[in-house]
Amino acid sequence: ITSRLDIDAIIQQTMAGVNKLLDVEAGSLLLLDELTGELYFRITLRDEHKEITSYRLRPGEGIAGWVVRQNRPAIVNDTGADTRFSPKIDRAIGFRTRSILCAPLNVRGQPIGVLELVNKRRGPFTADDKDVLVAVCAALGIALKNADLYDVARQRASRNEVVNQVAATINAQHGLPATTKAIFDQFNRL
């Protein structure tokens, strides 16, 4: 996944691979809104995506919020016995979460979201499952950062192309004063 540059394809491939490896009923990728500190749903394994994308978790809310805040994974094999669990989403979509495996999604050591798996079909979540999810999250974090850097570079190249076209047009029609050309050159270096 680290070699792909299409963010949606990266996320879909990751979620499908995690489900195939760990065989879970549901799962979500939640990303951190840097302005509010809330977690929002980016994609889910089930078809409830449209139902839950409007929901957000406040900073620290639920197991996913705890994982982001602590920047460490969590295994909860009995959500009813864990005070960190928030049943808000379950109630909203008519689902029952019994167990959760959740790991932070990091870029340069800083959490940008979580990958949360729900209700393992065969047995409880294990430390081995956690290790698999942590490894997947590490690769996904790199892939998302690479895709983001690629998008920034592509936007910058596009902007530079427009600036160069404007400068060429002005120069062809009126001649470009040295100071204006210097400004365009400086802009292109940004």
Give the whole-angstrom CA distance, residue 72 versus residue 94.
28
Strand partners, 29: 43, 115
| pLDDT at 56 > cutoff 80 | yes
Model pTM? Answer: 0.73
* Residue 36: predicted pLDDT: 95
Give the whole-angstrom CA distance, residue 24 versus residue 21.
9
Average of pLDDT values for 32-36?
A: 93
| pLDDT at 169 > cutoff 80 | no
101 pLDDT band (50/70/90 cuts)? very high
Amino acid in the structure at residue 104: P
Q: Does an H or E element contain 169, and which?
A: helix 127-174
Backbone φ and ψ for 146, nearest 5 degrees, come out as -60, -45
Strand order from edge to edge, sheet including 100-107: 56-57, 39-44, 24-32, 110-120, 100-107, 74-76
CB 105 within 8 A of CB 115: yes
* Residue 176: predicted pLDDT: 54
Give the whole-angstrom CA distance, residue 45 versus residue 143.
19
| pLDDT at 178 > cutoff 80 | no
